[in-house]
Each structure stands twice: as C-alpha cells, then as structure tokens.
Structure 1
Amino acid sequence: MSITNPTPEPTPEDISRGLAELERHLSQQTPAIPPTVRPIEVSGETKRVQRLRAEVTEAHLLADLQDDDAPLLLDTPKVRKRRKAAREASRLHELAQDPAMRAWQAARMQRLLVAAGMVSLTLALAWSTAGVQTFAADGAASWSPSWVFAWLVEPFMSLALLVVVGARAYLGTRGQPIESPTLIRIEWLFLALTLGMNAWPYLPWSLPNGEAFSFSRLVLHILGPIVAVAIVTALPIILAAFTHLDHGAGERSGNPLTGLEYRANTPSNYRAEHTYSSADIDALADRVRQMIAAGQLPADVGAASIRKALRCGMDTARAVRDALAEQAT
C-alpha cells in the first residue's frame, strides 16, 4: 500500500503571483483599440452653455464693428441719384446765367409771343368777318352778288391791317420799332371800322321792329374787334420792352473785355459804350496767342475762330487778327 503526500496549502505569495499571471494573460488576450477610434472627451458644457457662449462672442464682435463708420460713408443708389440730379440742376442754373443763353431765351420767347399775338389777331379778325358781312350785305338775298361780295369786306381790311401790324412787329424785334403816327392812325381806323360794322346791326336803334335787344349778342359780335384792338395796342409795348432788355453781358466773370458785343444789332447808343481801344485789342491778341501756344487754336487762326474763342463781335475778331499779323511781322 502506497502512501501519497498531501497537497501543500498555498501561501499568500502564491496567490498574489497567480493573480498577477492571470492579469498578464488577460491583457495579452484583449484586442488593441483601432487607431481611428478615440475615446470621447467630456468637456462638462451642455448645449445651452455652448449656445450662450456663441451669442456672447457674436455680441462682442458686433459691438466692435458698430464703432466703424465706414459703411456710413458709402453712397446708396438713392443718394447718388439725388447727387446727380443736384449737379445737373446746378449746371443748368449756371448755364441760365450766361449772357448768351439769356439772350437766346429772350429771343425765343420774343418770337413765341409775336407768333401767338399774330395768330390771335388773325383769329380775332376772322371772328368778326361774319358780323361785317351782315352789315355789308344790308339784307341782300343769299348768294346774290351783294351778299357774296359782302364776305370780302373784312378780309381785305384785315390783310391791310396785318401788313401794318406785321411790319411794326418785325422791325420791333430788330430793335428798330416804328413810331409813325400815320401808321398808328391807320391801325385805329381799320379797327374802328371793324368794331363799328360788327356792333351796328345789334344796337338797340338798329334792330327790326319787334326784336328785343340782347346785350350778350352784342358782346359776342364785338369780341373779335376788341381782341384785335388789345393785340395791336399791347404788341408794340412788349416788343419795346424786349428791345431794351439787358442780358447781363457786363456782369460776366473773368476778363471784362470779352462778351461785350451781344448788342451788335441794337442802336448805336449801346455800341458806343462797348468799343475797344488799341490796348484792349492787344490784350485780346495776347489771349489768342496763349491759346495758340496751348494748342487750342491753329497758328493761322482766322477771324471766325477768334470770334468763337473770345465770344466777341466779328469786327473785334478782325482787329485781333490784324494785330496778330502785325506782331508776327
């Protein structure tokens, strides 16, 4: 019979050694974490905290940008449109103060007023044709010779009157108004005949028996002659005012020697005030010489180009041209 030795009881060191070997074995058997996988880092901030932090950061940035006035210095499309309109209005106002522009505007308005006055006078005389025909026919039968020729009375008187008024109007626009008492008496004679022939058949003592007097009918028939009288009386006065109109040529800035001959077609009492001396011609010649040196005018500049450059009269331009030729020789 064999005797077996009993298993010795493990000591604490054996137990510790076994646990260490077991941990080492388990660590060797655990698979390694892939390099792409990282553990989640917990910051401790919630979404509410992150949202509030973003709002605070945005507020600080906006506060810094609000102190910059650069956006306020830029012109909006509306501001640019207003600036363009203001600049255009300023240039138009400056152009309107130019003596040449003012003279052109006055001449255009004068032609318009004369044309309107002549048209109104023609219509007024045509209006009175029916009244004059009634007076000249004197109850003649329709389409009889007397009735037909009665229609020609007013036209030939109107044409004669328009000849006189048209001549006075045209010469008035040229600065030579006609103040002949004879022509004025002729005008009033034609107007008085027209007015009398229009009014006579409708006056109370000229009406047939039993026909009542109508004041409105009388006024309606004398309206044409009254308008003609008003036009003939007012037109010479208006033209005389245009003739003495000052366009401010002497108020121009710069050299006072330029732009003083806008009244070249007016009476001599105006031209005498704006004559040029030899010193003035020499000064203008120096200006032309400077323009030639600057390339603004050709070397062989003519009188027409000098007149356009200096805005003076043709006589002055010729004098300046001659002065240049004398100085060149």
Structure 2
Amino acid sequence: MSHIANPDQPFEPSPEEMASALADLEHLANQHIAAAVPSQPVAGGETKRVRKLRAEVAEAHLLTDLQDDDAPLLLDTAKVRKRRKAAQEAARLHALAQDPDMRAWQAARMRRLLVTAALVSLTLALAWSTAGVQHFAADGAPPWSPAWVFAWLVEPFLSLALLVVVGARAYLGTRGQPLNDRKLVRNEGLFLGLTLAMNAWPYLPLVAADFSLSRLVLHILGPIVAVAVVTALPIILAAFASLDHRPSGTPTTPSYRANAATVDKLTAHARHLIGTGQLSVDSGADKFRRALGCGMDAARAVRDALRSNPA
C-alpha cells in the first residue's frame, strides 16, 4: 500500500532511501578519484614522456654520426662560386690582353686618339693666333676696309699650309712610314716662325708704346702651343711605330706546365688506386682529394682527366 504524505508535515526519507543515496554518493566519489590518479603503463607499453625522450636520444645519435662527415664543408658556397667566376674572368682578360692582335688593336686605338687630340689642339692654337696676326697685317687700317678684311686671311692660309704638312706626317707616321724630310721640317719651322713673329711683334718691349708682359705672353701662347704639338707629334708616332706587340714580362708558361705535371702524377696515382680497388672512376672529387691528399682543384682536374680518358 503506498503511503501518501501529508503536505502539512515535513518529508522524512525512509532508511532504504538513505542507504541508496549514500551508495550513489560513494560510487561518484570513486569515479572522481580514479579519474584524478594517472593511469599506469600497461605491460610492454610506453608513456608519452618515454616516447619523447627516446626520440631525442635517437636524434642525438644521428647528429653525432653526421657531425663527423666533412662533406658540407667542402661544398662551394655562392660567395666562393662568385669569386671563382670573377677570378676566371680576370684570368681570361689577362690572357686576352697579352694576345699580340689585342695589343696591336689597343695601340692603334690609343695612337688614333692622341693624333686626333694633337690636331684639334693645333687647330685651336692657330685659331687663337689669328687675331694677333690680323692686328699685325692690318697695320692700323680702318675697320672693314679692304686691308683690314684681307688681314684676316693671312693666318688661315698659313695655318692651312702648316696643317697639310703636319697632317701628312701624322698619317704616314700612323702607317709606320715616318716622314722626316728636311725640307718639310724647314717649312714647318718657317710657318710657325712667321706666326710667332707676327703675334709677338706689336707687343715687344721696344715696339709697343705701353709694354705689358702679360699681353705679350697671351698673344704668343697660340704659336708656342702649335710649335710644341708639331715638335712632339712625330716623336710620339715614331714611338708607336716601333712598338713590339708580343707579350712582355716573365712568361707564365712554366708554372702552368708545373701544375700540369703535378696533375699528371696525381692521375697516375689515382689509376693505381682504381686498379687495386681502393678508388672508383665514378667517385666524387672529395674522395679523390682524400685518397690523393691534394687540394680540391687538383682533385677535380684528376677526376675530369680520368672520366675523359678512363683507360
């Protein structure tokens, strides 16, 4: 028979209900304690910490083995390859500079440049002296009078005659045929002497009413430069004509022969090692270096020589 509680009286659980509630609480407490205590490894199993430590130990062993290998140290870095490329380029340029054809081309180019500069300087110097010669030739004639106008033509026809002689000597000098005829040399001296005298005469100490040294130097500057150019140009061209375009200095062939002889000896020794089975033709340059006890460049040369001629 079910018992219906009176709503006006407080609820009181029965002893059976109290025992059931205590049992439920004890079960929940045991579950909480079991969850808080870490699980122990099963027989033959590993925890996460053990696996992590085992991986670190294995990695350390691998790193120890790899640290004994010097192969990474023998590789050429980008900077080394860049320097090696620059060195090879410099060596080729040096060898090209020693080539007789290249030396002849360089000499011809420089000679042409010097001749051009000398003729331009001579032309400017003669043009500078034109005003002085015109002042001398006009001899006080009124401006734009026939004498005054024709006085401007004195220096140009003297300069053109001088440039004909100088140009011919310069061209023949560049062709290895210097023109040193005494008559031509006298003509050059005559033209330059006339130009210098006409520029300097009105400003000499006993001729000028008011002598000025700076004015005298200024007017004879053009003829002096012309004399210097005409005198120096044949000497320079003669020196160019006598140039020897063969390589000069101590030849570098013996050193290259010595290097080639060293590589030949190392190659013969490498063939012996290959015959005894201590080395292989397909070995890398590093193995050749270790086996032969030589530098990396020599090892590469031996490797290439063996691969190109394995017999």
* TM-score, with structure 1 as normaliser: 0.57
Residues 1:218 and 2:216 are matched in the alignment: yes
Q: 1:51 to 1:114 in 2, by over 3 A?
A: same
Identity %: 75
Q: 1:51 to 1:230 in 2, by over 3 A?
A: farther
1:172 corresponds in structure 2 to 173
1:21 corresponds in structure 2 to none
Q: CA deviation at 1:86?
A: 1.4
User: Which one of 222, 227, 230 corresponds to residue 229 of structure 1?
Assistant: 227
Partner AA of 2:122 in structure 1 = L
- Aligned pairs, number: 213
- Once the two structures are superposed, residues 278-301 of structure 1 have per-residue CA deviations (whole angstroms, 9 ceiling, x without a partner) of xxxxxxxxxxxxxxxxxxxxxxxx
1:30 corresponds in structure 2 to none
Q: Distance in 2 between matches of 1:202 and 1:40?
A: 123
Q: 1:67 to 1:250 in 2, by over 3 A?
A: closer
Q: Is the 8 A contact 2:98 2:247 kept in 1?
A: no
Q: Distance in 2 between matches of 1:86 and 1:253?
A: 16
Q: CA deviation at 1:84?
A: 1.7
- Once the two structures are superposed, residues 23-59 of structure 1 have per-residue CA deviations (whole angstroms, 9 ceiling, x without a partner) of xxxxxxxxxxxxxxxx652889896x98777666555
Q: Distance in 2 between matches of 1:204 and 1:54?
A: 107
1:134-283 matches, within 5 Å, as: 134-208=135-209, 211=210, 213-248=211-246
Q: Is the 8 A contact 2:41 2:47 kept in 1?
A: no
1:41 corresponds in structure 2 to 41
Partner AA of 1:239 in structure 2 = L
Q: CA deviation at 1:150?
A: 1.3
Partner AA of 2:41 in structure 1 = E
Q: 1:58 to 1:220 in 2, by over 3 A?
A: farther
- Once the two structures are superposed, residues 185-240 of structure 1 have per-residue CA deviations (whole angstroms, 9 ceiling, x without a partner) of 110111111111112222222223xx3x3322222221111111111111111111
Where 1:161 maps in the other structure, the secondary structure is helix
Partner AA of 1:123 in structure 2 = L
Partner AA of 1:244 in structure 2 = S
1:65-80 matches, within 5 Å, as: 65-80=66-81
Where 1:237 maps in the other structure, the secondary structure is helix
Q: Distance in 2 between matches of 1:250 and 1:123?
A: 38
Q: CA deviation at 1:64?
A: 3.0
Q: Distance in 2 between matches of 1:233 and 1:207?
A: 30
- Once the two structures are superposed, residues 50-81 of structure 1 have per-residue CA deviations (whole angstroms, 9 ceiling, x without a partner) of 87776665554434333322222222222222
Where 1:151 maps in the other structure, the secondary structure is helix
Q: 1:245 to 1:87 in 2, by over 3 A?
A: same
Where 1:220 maps in the other structure, the secondary structure is helix
Partner AA of 2:146 in structure 1 = P
- Once the two structures are superposed, residues 254-299 of structure 1 have per-residue CA deviations (whole angstroms, 9 ceiling, x without a partner) of 9xxxxxxxxxxxxxxxxxxxxxxxxxxxxxxxxxxxxxxxxxxxxx
2:131 corresponds in structure 1 to 130
Where 1:136 maps in the other structure, the secondary structure is helix
Q: Distance in 2 between matches of 1:60 and 1:224?
A: 89
Q: Distance in 2 between matches of 1:220 and 1:54?
A: 95
